[in-house]
Structure 1
Amino acid sequence: MEKRSCTDAIVLEFREDVALTEMMRLRVSSLQRSGQKRQDGERLLLPYEAVYRLDFPTQDLSFSRWYFSLCGHGRVTVTGICQLWTPDLTHLMTRQLLEPIGTFWRNAEDPEDSPLKSLEADMQEFGERIAELAKVRKVMYFLLALKDGAEAAKLSCSVEFTPQK
């Protein structure tokens, strides 16, 4: 979903790609049923992970900031996938995962209204990498891992960009 503010900023919301998530879960269950092992370097989806996407309406963007909200406590890790990945044709390989990863969290002992914690330098670099990759693609995929009580229904994650003039 795209929102525009009065400053012409573009806010893109991470949306779960249910079909890709399901396809990756089927790969895991297929390997388990047949007793086969994953391919060398293949990255299988873990039970607490899902595939999300950002759709870029324009390619010339500069990263501005993250918007992240989580009701309750938990940890959310956002890992970018650097290649234009098509799981119906290829398996996800670990070499396709971007660094740094984005991590947001609120500890169980923290008050509900306390701000989320994050590694700001990593989040800044990660946002800049996303803007860089947006120059050559219209969509980008991410793995979101929800741990320690975090739930997708209680999560909102988006990133703000400014169009380059």
Structure 2
Amino acid sequence: MSLELTFNPDIQLTEMMRLRVQSLQQRGQKRQDGEHLLKSNEHVYRLDFSEQALHFTRWNIRMSAPGRLNIIATSQLWTPDLTHLMTRQLLEPTGLFWKTADDDLIQCYEADAQEFGERIAELAKVRKVMYFLFSFEDGLSPENIECSIEFQK
């Protein structure tokens, strides 16, 4: 039986992380050693697991505009007080998907996307929620995408 889970934007967490960047800039302070500050083209998304025993099947990515989407999983279990995201908490491989203006097909690095999906399924065994950084490039924006991942239960 298959289960499709949609990546949902975590607007509140994205905003909190943007405020951290602003706060540091206003005070003229530097980031902590190894801290990853949210860039303007990065947004936090979350995946909520209703089941834990999953096997990755496929990615479902739809883009209504050309551009590049890089999805990076985090090992961080965020709490409401938002401990800072450290670079070491960004997992490899990432999911890189792109679409060109003259091609309707969405491209990706198959092996990395496969390994990335399998890693998410592995982490789902011990998590109910996972957080991701979505990096939008080359004209792509959150309004231009729909993104889900499919598993076998």
Q: TM-score range by the shorter chain?
A: over 0.9
1:158 pairs with 2:138:
no
CA–CA distance in structure 2, aligned partners of residues 34 and 17 of structure 1: 26
Whole-angstrom distance in 2 between the partners of 1:89 and 1:141: 12
- Pairs within 5 Å for 1:8-157: 8-86=1-79, 88-108=81-101, 110-111=102-103, 114-157=104-147
Q: Deviations over 1:115-139 (max 9, x none)?
A: 0110000000000000000000100
What secondary structure does 1:159 align onto?
strand
CA distance in 2, matches of 1:87, 1:142: 16
| 8 Å Cα contact 2:76/2:85 also seen in 1 | no
Question: How many percent identity over aligned positions?
Answer: 59
Provide the C-alpha distance between the structure 1 equivalents of 2:128 and 2:43, rounded to a whole number of angstroms. 20
Q: Aligned letter for 2:143?
A: A
Superposition deviation, residue 85 in structure 1: 2.4
Structure 2, unaligned runs of 5 or more: none
Kept in 1, the 8 Å contact 2:55–2:151? The answer is: yes
What one-letter code is carried by the residue in structure 2 that aligns with 1:70?
M
Query: Partners of 1:157 and 1:89 in 2: how far apart?
Result: 25
| Counterpart contact for 1:74–1:147, Cα < 8 Å | yes
Per the TM alignment, residue 107 of structure 1 is displaced from its structure 2 partner at its CA by 2.3
